[in-house]
Structure 1
Amino acid sequence: MPHKFKVKQMVRLKQPGVSDKWINSTSIYEVVRLMPADQTGELSYRVKSGMTERAVRESEIQRA
């Protein structure tokens, strides 16, 4: 299954989690790396916003 998003594409979190309360829910992230599927088969990405970099699943992000 191909990745829906590409490196350097801008995305945002669909629904910030509890640990993201300090981050504005409208924060824009840049996709910095495509990652393989996790144990459930869902594709993942490394995304970055400012100094914050994190791993997210494809279902957790949407196009900005």
Structure 2
Amino acid sequence: ISSTRSNRRANLRLFRKKGVKQETPDCTLDFKEFVERMAEHESSLTLVFNEIDVNKDGTLEP
């Protein structure tokens, strides 16, 4: 369990690394910060998806 908790904390630190202004000693993340980070990821994913959607039909083909 200790390693699982450590992994979660490490993942949270990585998640917070970009764009989060307030770092707390226990690496907590409030809902507002979570939503902001998710929105950033969504924007990045949209850009990537649109770039690899070759025929621009909203689907990815092999």
Q: TM-score, normalised by structure 2?
A: 0.21
Bigger relative contact order, structure 1 or 2, given CA contacts below 8 A and separation 6+? Answer: 1
Structure holding more strand per residue: 1
Q: TM-score, normalised by structure 1?
A: 0.21
Quick check: which has more Rg, 1 or 2? 2
